[in-house]
Amino acid sequence: MPLLKPGLRLYKTALDQAAQEALRDELRELLRDAPLFRPAMPRSGNPFSVRMSNCGPLGWVSDISGYRYQAHHPETGRPWPPMPESLLALWRAFSECDLAPDACLINFYDEQARMGAHQDRDEADFSAPILSISLGDSCRFRYGGDKRRDRSESIRLDSGDILVFGGPARLMFHGVDRILPGTSTLLDPDGRINLTLRRAK
């Protein structure tokens, strides 16, 4: 098992080139219905450096009023598009969880984007893991413990990699230190897409 630490598993190139291209094309169609938006930090209203969207019954959003899951796009007001079967199949293959995901966050990173260390803790139940899929440019991904001050390490995530964290790693602090521009030709425009499948409710 590709175990980085208890509860944290990395599957290198779990998606081959053809599978990456097929998923990219599905996402293009999905994002026409649920376009990328730029969230803002609670209280301060400062914009994120990443843009995001969602698919599935629920989607994660952030604005001046707080973090939350909701059933509609914050700008269009439309329900999030259904989660593609290809993503559900990856969840069944890699998550080791019998319950289906009800949310998939889609983050788009350009070469300047970052994601500070944070915990995924807006879900109602932490028993289900987070399944993360990387497409496009590589990144330096940082992970630590369940306290911000815990020692952290960084690894390179490449296009087609799948990372799963659950159990004792479910509430680990994690983030993206930087994008490595020009490491993939999958996306146009260049950048990185990260998909995270979750059980929100």
Domain boundaries, the chain: 3-198
Query: pLDDT band at residue 2, thresholds of 50, 70 and 90?
Result: confident
Query: 115 with 140: CB under 8 angstroms?
Result: no
What is the CATH T-level fold of the domain 3-198, as seen in this structure?
A: Jelly Rolls (2.60.120)
Q: Could you read off the pLDDT of 11-53 as tens digits, one per residue?
A: 999 999 999 999 999 999 999 999 999 999 998 999 999 999 9
| Confidence at residue 49, expressed as pLDDT on a 0 to 100 scale | 98
pTM over 0.75: yes
The whole-number average pLDDT for the span 139-159 is 97
Q: Could you read off the pLDDT of 88-137 as tens digits, one per residue?
A: 999 999 999 999 999 999 999 999 999 999 999 999 989 999 999 999 99
User: DSSP label at 201?
Assistant: -
Query: pLDDT band at residue 1, thresholds of 50, 70 and 90?
Result: low
| Confidence at residue 153, expressed as pLDDT on a 0 to 100 scale | 97
116-122-125-127 Cα dihedral, nearest 10 degrees: -10
Q: Answer whether residue 58 shows pLDDT above 90.
A: yes
| Confidence at residue 61, expressed as pLDDT on a 0 to 100 scale | 98
Q: What percent of the chain has pLDDT over 70?
A: 100
| Confidence at residue 121, expressed as pLDDT on a 0 to 100 scale | 96
For residues 11-37, b (16+ Cβ closer than 10 Å) or e, as one string?
beebbeeeebeebbeebeebbeebeeb
